[in-house]
Amino acid sequence: MQFYDHDQIDVLFDAETLQKRIAELGKQITEDFQGQGELVVIGVLKGSFLFLADLIRQIDLPVSVDFLGLSSYGRSFETSGVVRVTQDLSQPIKGKAVLVVEDIVDTGLTMSYLLSNLATRLPKSVHVATLLHKPSRCQVEVPLDYIGFTIPDKFVIGYGLDYKNLLRNLPFIGVNRGDTPPITL
């Protein structure tokens, strides 16, 4: 890929490492939800769409998919805790087993808001799968049932995660090296 500055990005998890871990998560989820009927997988937009696409192909169960769009107010790289729903679910989840799929849990504020929001819709159960977790930044404890990788306090990009709404299409997860932006348009 030529459109970004390779020298400014260190690869943290390459495509193969991501797929290997996602296969493990899918196997675990398949075992845990065996015999429970439909599993409603809810992707949190936008960052989770690639993870969700790869994860559901590793889940050997009857899965339905829905999306919830969330965006946090405040500075671009920091969650303010005030979350806005930009796109709501298309179906009720009352009485259903739900698996929320998120790209990264950083402060936990977005997930905390999301879990309270979903609880008001009376699902049978709610579990959470996040590809990445930055525990050092935790402000609110949220129950995370499936964690892909625990990472240090670094701003990560690629595989769904954005830098100024760009670089979501990188096939790996990387870290911006210094103060120089990884992409200029």
CB of 64 to ligand IMP, least distance (A): 22
Sheet holding 125-133, edge to edge: 83-87, 63-72, 39-45, 97-105, 125-133, 146-150
Binding-residue pattern over the window 33 to 72 for ligand IMP, x denoting contact by CB under 6 A: --------------x-------------------------
* Among 108, 148, 174, 182, contact with ligand IMP (rule: CB under 6 A): 108
Decide: is 148 part of the binding site for ligand IMP (CB under 6 A). Answer: no
- Determine contact, residues 175/156, Cβ cutoff 8 Å: yes
* Among 43, 51, 110, 170, contact with ligand IMP (rule: CB under 6 A): 110
Helix (H) or strand (E) segment spanning residue 164 = none
Q: Phi/psi at 103 (nearest 5 deg)?
A: -75, -50
Encoded amino acid at 169, one letter = N
Looking at 5-13, 16-24, 102-110, 117-125, which segment touches ligand IMP (CB under 6 A)? 102-110
Nearer to ligand IMP, 30 or 112 (CB): 112
What is the distance, to the nearest Å, from the Cα of residue 52 to the centroid of all Cα atoms in its chain? 8
Helix (H) or strand (E) segment spanning residue 85 = strand 83-87
- Determine contact, residues 70/83, Cβ cutoff 8 Å: yes
Catalytic residues: 106
Q: Scan for tokens 């849990």, then name that residue.
A: 105
Total residues interacting with ligand IMP, rule: CB under 6 A: 16
* Among 25, 59, 97, 106, contact with ligand IMP (rule: CB under 6 A): 106
**Using CA atoms, how far apart are residues 57 and 35, in angstroms rounded to an integer?**
18
Decide: is 130 part of the binding site for ligand IMP (CB under 6 A). Answer: no
Interface residues with ligand IMP (CB under 6 A) are 47, 79, 102-111, 155-157, 161
